[in-house]
Structure 1
């Protein structure tokens, strides 16, 4: 016969298990904070657009909190330490995959310490130059770059930034070198580029859109399969003779490890609803980006992408030899 003590234990376990879906059904009951590990900038517009649409589905506000520092690692570390209840989530990009190689003393593991929620959007990279840069095409830019023999100033927005990754890949693809000049953010680069103190820069279309549209910089090519409706006069790298060079930076949503799966699924559902909203799609298009399709928007798809990106970028970054303590 089963003793009374065992019956009580079994009943308690059953009640605990039943309470998990019950809590998930009532979740969320308070605002959700979306951490962005960078200073306020163009990406905030994407986050707010998606966050506002998610809040309509969740029935709670989605608030944005910028926590910049150390190439995004400060904000990511803060998110990793948050209570795993779904009320503090992280919006991050390809930097999640490059940080383990770039930073020797990292307090988090992007795969182990986070639960993937889903991919949000992808931003193509665009090559731009100072307003009076000689030549107007990617081929003319490349030829001038080679003639200078490493004498051009090529900016990037800090260790592990998408602009640094683009600069490394592009120099390798073009077999041309430049003098790389690091900054702390894209906001610091543009005034120097517009003033002519920086020659070249590669950035996400969401960051460069205003300067390209306002013709305060010269745009050479977008590293995407098709032209953007917001930059119709800028050709693709394929049109410019480099079909092999494609680079878009993904943005994704993560939660701290240990967040219950029903909560992850609820967040993912709200994200998919938001990205399917016509108003969100229109606004993201205006911002120079595109929502991730539903078929690649699951938590499992994001986990697979993150793991593959860590492995993809490790040898590239190790070969470049740029690391932080």
Structure 2
């Protein structure tokens, strides 16, 4: 290579770097110029939807732009997730997803996307679940319930919102802890499962506090314990023991939610969204609304992209073992 060619090659590389830097700086200065959409891959009114709407409201001020929520339900979250994974990587279409994103690799052969297609922006919160039952079940304590399960086992119907849902995952851990073989009854969403539980068509369900608290408070279902390691302080659950203290040693299950963007979104835009997210999850109004539901807003390294990704990878490995031990084959 001649000196002229070498010099020309170096000059082109330098110019490319300068242009990339200029584009990145421009993206940071201009983003967002229009409304930002958060896709929730589940139906409106569910736990993920409620959390996303609280977050959208809290993001408006730090982003200086309107943030709206779009529900794209179907295939246990795969349709909405794939839509974001294929979206333009300009920061205007984001995703709020829960623990199901970490279980998908073990549950589905072809979910329609790869987690590598997403950029990690930070964890939002963690929500415990409750073990609830129809009011006709005998007894009111976990000890009473365990005796009933031991006597009836496979005759008992354990409802969930579909394979891979939070209620399904909690149910897997519950059955393992109880050494039980209850009959799993999957529904197409939380609402129909809860309706049948309240109507007595199914016996038990493990459901997020976001959805179960109103039914517990109105005594439409019985509650046997919460899945967190500490008792909750919300009015409906203040007197409810944790499942661990009620006898299921080591029981710990929380449903977390995270924020994501399409792969290849410019670093400057990712940084700006993460900064807005960290501001939003400290918003007193958001924190108050979340705590009123028994939900903990994340306040550690997982609110950063690197911490979020590390935590996520651990969850993928954890649930791969749980799903394998349950004998569930990927669809």
Q: TM-score range by the shorter chain?
A: over 0.9
Asked if 1:272 is matched to 2:274, the reply is no
Cα separation, 2, equivalents of 1:184 and 1:37: 13
Asked if 1:100 is matched to 2:108, the reply is no
Q: Which moved more, 1:9-18 or 1:162-171?
A: 9-18
Asked if 1:49 is matched to 2:33, the reply is no
Instruction: Give the match's secondary structure for 2:27.
Output: helix
What does residue range 197-216 of structure 1 map to in structure 2 within 5 Å? 197-216=201-220
Quick one: structure 1 residues 126 and 9, their matched pair in 2 at CA, closer, same or farther if it must change by over 3 Å?
closer
Whether contact under 8 Å (1:46, 1:287) holds in the other structure is no
Instruction: Give the match's secondary structure for 1:90.
Output: strand
Cα separation, 2, equivalents of 1:16 and 1:167: 49
Q: 2:172 — aligned with what?
A: 168
Q: 1:288 Cα deviation (Å)?
A: 2.8
When normalised by structure 1's length, the TM-score is 0.95
Cα separation, 1, equivalents of 2:38 and 2:197: 31
Q: 1:164 Cα deviation (Å)?
A: 0.8
**Residue segments in structure 1 that go unaligned for 5+ positions in a row:** none
Instruction: Give the match's secondary structure for 1:149.
Output: helix
Q: 1:190 Cα deviation (Å)?
A: 1.2
Q: Which moved more, 1:6-15 or 1:83-92?
A: 6-15
Alignment equivalent of 2:262, drawn from 256, 264, 273: 256
Cα separation, 1, equivalents of 2:330 and 2:70: 25
Alignment equivalent of 1:65, drawn from 47, 67, 70: 70
Q: 1:324 Cα deviation (Å)?
A: 5.4
Q: 1:53 Cα deviation (Å)?
A: 0.8
Cα separation, 1, equivalents of 2:280 and 2:254: 21
Paired residues in the alignment total: 324
Q: 1:213 Cα deviation (Å)?
A: 1.6
Alignment equivalent of 1:244, drawn from 247, 250, 265: 250
Q: 1:79 Cα deviation (Å)?
A: 0.9
Whether contact under 8 Å (2:128, 2:254) holds in the other structure is yes
What does residue range 1-325 of structure 1 map to in structure 2 within 5 Å? 7=11, 10-11=14-15, 13-43=17-47, 44-110=49-115, 112-230=116-234, 231-323=237-329, 325=331
Residue by residue, what CA displacement relative to the aligned partner does 1:104-145 show, whole Å, maximum 9, x if unpaired? 1222111x1111000000010110000121111112111111
Q: 1:98 Cα deviation (Å)?
A: 0.8
Cα separation, 2, equivalents of 1:95 and 1:76: 11
Cα separation, 2, equivalents of 1:302 and 1:9: 33
Cα separation, 2, equivalents of 1:317 and 1:12: 47
